[in-house]
Chain A
């Protein structure tokens, strides 16, 4: 259903920009992936990624459409704390820094986060984890595809499904062609586009409207957005922080990076990425707070960022937003496609159905899976069932329940397999209950709390004595 009748960008110009950047990313995919013939090179860039590229890929992947479009949405819906709470997402990167170092040490030949859970907690815990991880990956993939369609529709009036289709197709193409090296190579270019775009945008918005005018308008028309004691906003703060921690701790997107970084790089790459990422949601969210003072109509909450930027800055703003958010979208979509394909192939296809497969066969299976994931995500994106924030936070209950099983499993020998499995199942159930009973802004918080209590109690009651050497599983044969 169309809700937006006014758009700043001419559809022809929007198509031209999309075509130029699609060609650029696909071209880079071909260039970066031209020498990757073996599995380790295709899926982990030969495990030799350095600090600069490592930092850029971690930051660009975490700057998603959710950062550039959902931070404004949350600022517009729940005010100042929505914006600041979203910035707490950087804590996930900072806390994962020491974990990345430990993962690299404990699992020098690891491929996926599923490898760790299988070896640490056994088959039952591994399958529960896979269900959570694949479900989350689809939630994130769909939210990214939806964001592409919403963005292009808000800026140019091009129908949602057309924009969504083109962006998904572009990302699937270059991930398919270039593999993981293309993903991190394009991430480097995309992180530069995102940072430059945001700095220009913030400078133009603050110069164009001014703090006083924004404050007066909000106080008159939407007083609760400035209320630091707004109940939903207070609950949202730690919920978003724990959601971000859960996303990063469990997702194969971040584990593949931990495996692919050169030894000694992971810790500093994640610390620097967290520091660089922190101000981005604040700048993006601030843009949304200017909406009431501009008197601009916001038909759907997830359209507020692009609409305000284009209303305030006209054609220039619309072009900056399109290029910047396309870069943010692409940098996350490609990473997610590559990492999820790897999880599906390695943990489901290889481990469950074809244990004798050679590395060469798995490389082909990874390519086929990337394509299939793109098609399934496209089908799920078509109906546009909900807003971005609500869709993504639904997955929060599940991912936050993995925080303690992962962190305790990496550091404590005594955490046992049954306790970890129960923590994931019961934490998810509690989080989903809270999602429906209270709201999307508490699902991750409740899921993480219940999961933590279960891990602590079961570790204390039935301690295990795990041998870390069991995690050093050799890689599959190359032929």
Chain B
């Protein structure tokens, strides 16, 4: 009987310890899980030449790497991994017209992950083609006029010196 009681007591104490340990593990682990999500920013909301920069950061926490995702829909139903690594910025270029959405999360040294950052969106809308062609032609005219000025001036200078 005594043995039986003692066994039950030991079992209770062991259960108490196990419960306490489990509580401590559960209580302690979310310290980093509760770390704030990284902050994400974009260099410009409207990209007129198809390039822009994304920057992200998470201070005061030991980050192993970041994962940056891109999606063409605001709900991130389908995503592409844009970057995974320790850098804190990336430059995107050569994009055609459209709206692109981004989010980032960090993987911490203790193996946990943060939540996703607030999403950011960039609209790529290239300049009107007509405007570009007009400025191209204008540039060509200024260049040709400058060349003509210099060639004509050099010839006139030569003639003048020959006369002198």
Which of A's residues lie within 8 Å of B, judged by CB?
1-6, 76-79, 91, 95, 98-99, 102, 218, 221-226, 229-235, 237-239, 241-242, 245, 297-301, 304, 403-404, 407-408, 410-412, 438-439, 441-442, 445-446, 448-449, 452
Say whether, besides A95-B150, A410-B153, A412-B153, A224 and B94 are in contact (CB < 8 Å). Answer: yes
What number of B residues sit within 8 Å (CB to CB) of A? Answer: 44
Interface centre among B55, B139, B149 (most CB of A within 10 A): B139
Contact residue among A5, A224, A233, A301 (Cβ-Cβ distance under 8 Å from B87): A5
CB distance from B140 to the nearest CB of A (A): 6
Asked if B90 is at the interface of the complex by the 8 Å CB criterion, the answer is: yes
Asked if B138 is at the interface of the complex by the 8 Å CB criterion, the answer is: yes
CB distance from B164 to the nearest CB of A (A): 11
Q: Is the CB of A231 within 8 A of B94?
A: no
Say whether, besides A439-B49, A452-B142, A235 and B93 are in contact (CB < 8 Å). Answer: no
Stretch at the interface among B14-22, B71-79, B107-115, B126-134: B126-134
A321–B40 alpha-carbon span in the complex (Å): 32
A442–B137 alpha-carbon span in the complex (Å): 12
Q: Is the CB of A242 within 8 A of B139?
A: yes
Q: Is the CB of A78 within 8 A of B53?
A: no
A89–B82 alpha-carbon span in the complex (Å): 34
Nearest residue, chain B, Cβ from A245: B146
Q: Is the CB of A299 within 8 A of B91?
A: yes
Say whether, besides A411-B156, A445-B138, A452-B145, A232 and B50 are in contact (CB < 8 Å). Answer: yes
CB distance from A219 to the nearest CB of B (A): 10
| 13 contacts across the A-B interface (CB closer than 8 A) | A3-B87, A5-B85, A95-B147, A95-B150, A223-B96, A224-B126, A229-B129, A230-B126, A235-B136, A237-B136, A241-B139, A297-B87, A407-B150
A interface secondary structure, majority:
helix
Q: Is the CB of B49 within 8 A of A237?
A: no
CB distance from B42 to the nearest CB of A (A): 14
Q: Is the CB of B132 within 8 A of A5?
A: no
A91–B150 alpha-carbon span in the complex (Å): 13
Q: Is the CB of B146 within 8 A of A407?
A: yes
Nearest residue, chain B, Cβ from A450: B142
Asked if B88 is at the interface of the complex by the 8 Å CB criterion, the answer is: yes
Q: Is the CB of B88 within 8 A of A297?
A: no
CB distance from B162 to the nearest CB of A (A): 14
Within 8 A of A (CB), among B78-128: 83, 85-91, 93-96, 126-128
Residues of chain A within 8 A of B133, CB atoms compared: 234
A238–B137 alpha-carbon span in the complex (Å): 9
Q: Is the CB of A78 within 8 A of B90?
A: no
A241–B145 alpha-carbon span in the complex (Å): 13
Q: Is the CB of A3 within 8 A of B129?
A: no
Residues of chain A within 8 A of B138, CB atoms compared: 238, 445, 449
Nearest residue, chain A, Cβ from B140: A238
Nearest residue, chain A, Cβ from B48: A439
A404–B131 alpha-carbon span in the complex (Å): 24
Nearest residue, chain A, Cβ from B90: A297
Asked if B62 is at the interface of the complex by the 8 Å CB criterion, the answer is: no
Asked if B135 is at the interface of the complex by the 8 Å CB criterion, the answer is: yes
A1–B43 alpha-carbon span in the complex (Å): 14
Residues of chain A within 8 A of B131, CB atoms compared: 231, 235, 438
A411–B159 alpha-carbon span in the complex (Å): 13
A452–B139 alpha-carbon span in the complex (Å): 11
Residues of chain A within 8 A of B150, CB atoms compared: 95, 98-99, 407, 411
Contact residue among A6, A238, A404 (Cβ-Cβ distance under 8 Å from B136): A238
A207–B143 alpha-carbon span in the complex (Å): 37
CB distance from A44 to the nearest CB of B (A): 23
Other A-B contacts than A232-B127, A410-B153, A438-B48, 10 sampled, CB-CB below 8 A, are A78-B49, A221-B94, A223-B96, A235-B139, A237-B139, A238-B136, A238-B142, A300-B53, A445-B135, A446-B135
Q: Is the CB of A449 within 8 A of B142?
A: yes
Say whether, besides A5-B88, A224-B94, A403 and B146 are in contact (CB < 8 Å). Answer: yes
A172–B157 alpha-carbon span in the complex (Å): 40
Residues of chain B within 8 A of A449, CB atoms compared: 138-139, 141-142
Residues of chain A within 8 A of B145, CB atoms compared: 452
